[in-house]
Amino acid sequence: MVGQTRVVLLQGDITEQDTQAIVNAANSRLAGGGGVDGAIHRAGGPAIMAQCDEIRARQGGCPTGQAVLTTGGRLKAQYVIHTVGPIWRGGDHNEDQLLASAYQSSLRLALQHGIKSVAFPSISTGAYGFPLERAAAVAVRAVEGFLLEQPLQEVRWVLFSQRDFQAYLRAWQERGYQQGKNVE
């Protein structure tokens, strides 16, 4: 537990999760793409892109560090939270703050919609090139800070590879949490 929130780390596919929402590592045009974005649109079907199109028509997309909500379509998850992480540009272009903001905006949007459980992928560490260990440390700190103020029922990280899983587990351990005790 992190405050009142259950935190779970697992290696797997985010499109299969039964949390109320899953988070997509989207691009700012909400245009779909490869990686986790492509996987979510494929698994959830066209209803997700139809709502992304509406959001794009209304507000032009989603700025880096912010988040928008759509249906989950055919996914088990009722909603998809699309957030836009920063593209890595060497580390001195506000990347850490923008990544923290992507996580916190996603959680804030979840709370605003009464969503109680959320699954995250490793935002920005694929095509966007953010170094894994640094991203994990930033992500964990941002989410921990948020949850200690505003709890949800469950936050889950769904890491595609063993290496990603180990990085996020280590980042929690470095914050003083223990697997099997505070994080599952």
- Nearer Cβ to ligand ADP (134/151): 134
Structure tokens at 1: 């537990």
Site for ligand ADP contains 125 (CB under 6 A): yes
What is the closest distance, in whole angstroms, from the C-beta atom of residue 183 to ligand ADP in the complex? 18
Chain-centre distance of CA 174, in angstroms?
20
- Nearer Cβ to ligand ADP (44/107): 44
Cα–Cα distance for residue pair 32/18, rounded to 1 Å: 22
16-35 residues in contact with ligand ADP (CB under 6 A) are 25, 35
Site for ligand ADP contains 167 (CB under 6 A): no
Site for ligand ADP contains 151 (CB under 6 A): no
Cα–Cα distance for residue pair 156/166, rounded to 1 Å: 14
Taking the CA atoms of 149, 152, 158 and 163 in sequence, report the sign of the dihedral they define.
Answer: positive
Number of residues that bind ligand ADP (CB under 6 A): 20
- Judge whether 92 counts as a catalytic residue: no
- Cα 32–Cα 127–Cα 38 angle in degrees, nearest 5: 25
Cα–Cα distance for residue pair 158/8, rounded to 1 Å: 9
**Orientation of helix 46-59 relative to helix 35-44, angle to 10°:** 120
What is the closest distance, in whole angstroms, from the C-beta atom of residue 48 to ligand ADP in the complex? 14
User: Which residue from 70, 105, 106, 124 is in contact with ligand ADP, where contact means CB under 6 A?
Assistant: 124
Catalytically annotated residues: 37
- Write out the residues near ligand ADP by the rule CB under 6 A: 13-15, 25, 35-37, 39, 85, 121-128, 158, 160, 164
